[in-house]
Chain A
Amino acid sequence: MTNQQKIAVVTGAGSGLGRALTLELVQRNVKVIGFGRRQDTLQGTAQKGGEGFVPMVVDVSDYNAVNAAFDQIEISQGPVDILINNAAVYPQLDILEETAQSLMQTVNINLGGTIACSRAALTAMVKRGHGRIIDVASFADIAPIPTSAAYSISKGAQRIFSRALHADLADRFPNIVLSTWLPGMLATDMGLVNGLDPKTAAKWGASLALLTDRSLNGVVFERDTEMLPHQSFKRRMVNRLLGKRAKPRRLTP
């Protein structure tokens, strides 16, 4: 098992963080199937990814297409070991510029895509008893800024989906390891000009995706550091008295 090449699906593999994650995983001997809406951007990733990369034109908001793609991967490549739910759009529209339809289309991509891909991947993961799912998440939901309604709603709900998935599965399938990863502000089309180089973030993301320890189930990482769950004041005091201060884990790039 350990010597066999792992198979990963990365959504939104045509650009930004998705492309960087794909290339980083390929470099670490992972066969990556990259989902993207556009053939031309996927081609850009394919040129650098070489043989370890298989592009697939899939719109993650088209749930039938997602199911068909996972079926096809299972036949042509084998069962998926790792899923990275990375695909997302950030339209930057004021609420008065949105219609219910336009806003929900963003939700269909950012939240719906995560749900569709996770659900499709789980069929085989449950049969094998193990798997790895990483949701690329953001802090956008905590204090939404102007023109972020669709994005912050969908990304907030994506994190709730991840917690609900954990509630349904973690006790039964501790080896299907679900983690949420907040890569931080990146210098991508969706991020900030002076943000972090996605290549740097991708090293952490790839490391996290390749860790399969069941203790990472339900854990959130920000950049390269584990975010410990909030503890009450009382609990922190007692832990301090007992000399048990929890240490966040760090990812090696």
Chain B
Amino acid sequence: MNGPWDVVVIGTGIGGGTIGRRLAERGLSVLFVEKGNAGHRLEETPITGDVWQAHARSLRGLSPNAAKAKIDGRVSTFFAPIGSGVGGSSVFYAATLEQPERHDLDDSKNHPHPTGGWPVKFDDFAPYFDQTRKMYQIHGTENPLGEPNANLSQPQQLAAIDASLFQSLSAQGLQPYHAHTAIARLPECLNCVGHKCPKACKMDGRSAGVEPALLTGHATLWTNATVTRLLTKKDQITGIEILRNGEKTVITAKQYVLAAGAFASPNILLASNNSDWPKGVANSSGLVGRNLMFHLNEMFALWPKDKFSSQENSKTIASRDIYYQNKTRFGMVQSMGISARYGEILHYLNQMYDRSRLAKVTFLRTILRLPAMLAEKLLGGAQIFVGILEDLPYAHNRVIATDDPNDIVFEYQLPSELHTRRRQFRRAIRRAFRGHRKLFLHQQAELNFGHPCGTVCFGDDPKTSVLNMNCRAHDIENLYVVDSSFFPTSMGVNPSLMIAANALRVGDHVAKEFKDKS
């Protein structure tokens, strides 16, 4: 059957998986179109740049092609931590689903918003944050410094290393809490941070989205199905051209939902340009692909006051003590679940090297093993923390259209205000975590390429945004976008909770439209 379905959902990550489930549970017929593989359910595949052959990457659910980026004018090629398979990037993620602060979305006198605020207010998202926490079985403790977090499940007892850090950080006047993680902690939980979970324990676009959607009997999943073009007639999508297992087909639906991720979603719109839409479908604003944002990662090693073996990892500490200071937007700080061991340090140094000017001199790369070994000696027992620094939208930072749907091509310039905020953020981290031995792990600004967003932003004005407040394209009557592309700003938290909550919100809207029409 090639249609018409009620809804076709392109992409099966957090956004696509979540909205597909909601729509299927509302009784609508849903087709998931996934470019990547289904994979094997009991895989524990990690996200890695070590596998570089495109077919091998694709089989593993990794984005097959290396990203080509021009960052501050310098061209570099690297594997972005982006998934391509059922569940998208989320099957690899650390399942940190943190609620944004009110000021991340709303404009107010005390907390002026850089874009004047999101078109949908915090209070309108709040019920969907609550629903997401239930749907994704999120564990953690209440953030003591922000808005309430309903439907949080009790976390397990703290590991000794986390208990020690909680105590010593609290003694410094900080207010740490148990990070909010979407891991159900089933028996024999493998804590699948950075790799696929073989059980329905880590909640992601696959286990909390596509799989429950398929169980309703209303949803169908096509894998290895690449969208090559959206077909339009004036302000309507009339069909989608798909390459499925090497064969071209056209499918039709009443509503189309684009959720291919903040790199691929704008690319599909731009690559579908035609005589009606010469700049790209839904792109009368010229903003499709623009306002690309990431987060900056500030990674630092922090030594607990008590001695622990390097086998023990702190996974659960989150802090919002320096989220916002003196009208300056920073973001949250969280433990990364890794201690400073040889492998992690080497991997990290290698990444830095590959993006440096020396990248072509491959034989020098081996020499990094020496500093990595010494660093392990020096850093032994330290836990790695990351501060997430909010990025803001600039039109010149953008995804570049490409004909190969597997390509990720973008241009990004670090604005000077971001450099300034970064210096302030590092100072704030140093001050906040005083009394603990700590060490910043990098001098250079580190963009988190796993958190792209903003490239098909929503807003009230069709001149300054691509989508309306319901995440429907201003220009197209039957096209919605529900991945992180819709973010007007990147917020100071990991993007997943917002993507899922918004997908539920848009899902309710789409389902209501179907109901009203019938």
List chain A positions with a Cβ less than 8 A from chain B.
126-129, 171-175, 235, 238, 242
Contacts and interface: CB of A to CB of B under 8 A. Distances in A.
Given A173-B43, A174-B44, 16 more contacts: A126-B40, A126-B42, A127-B40, A127-B42, A129-B42, A171-B44, A171-B45, A171-B48, A172-B40, A172-B43, A172-B44, A172-B45, A173-B40, A238-B369, A238-B370, A242-B377
A99 B32 CA distance: 56
B163 interface: no
23 contacts: A126-B40, A126-B42, A127-B40, A127-B42, A129-B42, A129-B43, A129-B198, A171-B44, A171-B45, A171-B46, A171-B48, A172-B44, A172-B45, A172-B60, A173-B40, A173-B42, A174-B44, A175-B44, A235-B369, A238-B369, A238-B370, A238-B373, A242-B377
Nearest 9 CB-CB pairings of A with B: A129-B42, A172-B45, A172-B43, A238-B373, A126-B40, A129-B198, A174-B44, A171-B45, A242-B373
B150 interface: no
B51 interface: yes
Interface string B150-186: 0000000000000000000000000000000000000
Interface in B16-48: 40, 42-46, 48
B42 A128 contact: yes
A238 B376 CA distance: 12
A127 B42 CA distance: 7
A175 B44 CA distance: 9
Q: Chain A interface mostly helix, strand, loop or mixed?
A: loop
Contacts of A173: 40, 42-44
Contacts, number: 32
A49 to B, nearest CB: 32
A171 B198 contact: no
Contacts of B376: 242
Nearest to A239: B373
Nearest to B373: A238
Interface of B: 40, 42-46, 48, 51, 60, 198, 369-370, 373, 376-377
A168 to B, nearest CB: 8
Contacts of B198: 129
A101 to B, nearest CB: 34
Contacts of B60: 171-172
A236 to B, nearest CB: 12
Contacts of B48: 171
Contacts of A242: 373, 376-377
A172 B39 CA distance: 10
B131 to A, nearest CB: 32
A171 B51 contact: yes
Contacts of B373: 238, 242
A146 to B, nearest CB: 40
Nearest to A129: B42
Nearest to B48: A171
Nearest to A232: B366
A238 B346 CA distance: 15
Contacts of A127: 40, 42
A171 B46 CA distance: 7
Most chain B beta carbons < 10 A, residue from A126, A128, A172, A175: A172
Contacts of B44: 171-175
A133 B310 CA distance: 32
A127 B41 CA distance: 8
B473 to A, nearest CB: 38
B343 to A, nearest CB: 13
Contacts of A126: 40, 42
Contacts of A128: 42
A173 B370 CA distance: 31
Nearest to B198: A129
Nearest to B43: A172
A121 to B, nearest CB: 15
